[in-house]
Structure 1
Amino acid sequence: MSVILARVDQRLIHGLIVNQWAQALQIKRFMVVDDELSTNEAIKASMRMSKPAGTGMSIINTEKAITNFNAGKYDNQRVFVLVKEPATLIKLIEGGVKIPKVDLGILFNESGRKPVTKFVALDDEERRDLQILEQKNVPLVIQYVPTDPEEPFKA
């Protein structure tokens, strides 16, 4: 089955992810793909403490994620991919990872970003990256929690 949903969320793993999304999507593995965090053992250890019983968690860099997906390592799992920026998803897709849909979670209104919704603000580069995902026929939605209605997003 593999990737069920990919979410762009600056906070990556947090209460809404482990308590609401995991249950709603019946997740078996959380996959945080972040080149910088994947080398920080202290942050990785604290993130792993938040995972619900019965689920796995990978906190790996983009290259390792591509290698593992292409090797079929997660074929029998329901994987929820979490990234900080849409550029990471482009790299995954170009590396052969199938991403069925992207949810824009929380992107803070900082560093020159312009608000799109209450929880999503984008800069020009992020908007361009989302346009690339659209061109690759990946549906983009905004859905803060699984009980909210999905709102299609057009970059």
Structure 2
Amino acid sequence: MRISLIRVDDRLIHGQVVMGWTQALGIEQILVADDEIAVDETQKQLLLMAVPAGVTADVLSIADSATIVDASDSDVSTLILVRGPAELAALHREGVPMPRVNVGNVHTGPDRKRLTKEVHATEDEIGIWRELAEAGVRLEARWLPSSPVTDLARLVGAQS
């Protein structure tokens, strides 16, 4: 499987992903790696309704997503979506290669610190971001393909 982009976005499949990222990168396949939605047929079908014509998509558990990535020798341009840093870390632990990750949108809420305009995190999540960065994952906060890139590792105090 040719991973064109791994994106963290708590909205998962939505207009920005469909119109911005899939078109800009020529995405042919979307893989949502999410344990909760993978077993919720209603939520799964709602997400899949947003997939544009000509793009295939599936919603699988994190473990099943990692298995598919590992077993596939396809050259299809693929976008992998996860909802937050915990899911990204789980995918990383499963062995999915991720030299670069786009962090697009993680909403605000109670006990969440603003890292960028679009990315907020709890102290625990900041620790996860830091661990991923220190493990060699390049974390780029970037909302749209045309937006400037912000080094998220620097914002969470990761050691190089």
Give the shorter-chain TM-score range: over 0.9
**1:103-114 superposed matches below 5 A:** 103-114=102-113
Structure 1 position 93, deviation (Å) = 2.0
Query: TM-score normalized by structure 2?
Result: 0.90
- 1:37 and 2:11 matched: no
Gapped runs of 5+ residues in structure 1?
A: none
Q: Which residue of 1 aligns with 2:69?
A: 69
- C-alpha displacement at 1:91, in angstroms? 2.0
| Aligned match of 2:138 | 139
In 1: Cα distance, 2:43 partner to 2:34 partner: 12
- The amino acid of 1:102's aligned partner reads V
Give the aligned residue type for 1:30.
I
1:1-155 mapped onto 2 (5 Å cutoff): 2-72=2-72, 75-154=74-153, 155=156
After the TM superposition, list the runs of 4 or more consecutive aligned residues in structure 1 that deviate by more than 2 angstroms: none
Task: Note the aligned Cα RMSD (angstroms).
Answer: 1.4
Structure 1 residue matching 2:4: 3-state secondary structure: strand
Unaligned runs of 5+ in 2: none
C-alpha deviation, 1:17, in angstroms: 0.3
Q: Kindly, what percent of the aligned residue pairs are identical?
A: 32
- Local SS of the residue matching 1:44: helix
Is the Cα contact below 8 Å between 1:3 and 1:100 reproduced in 2?
Answer: no
Question: Counterparts of 1:137 and 1:104 in 2: how far apart (Å)?
Answer: 15
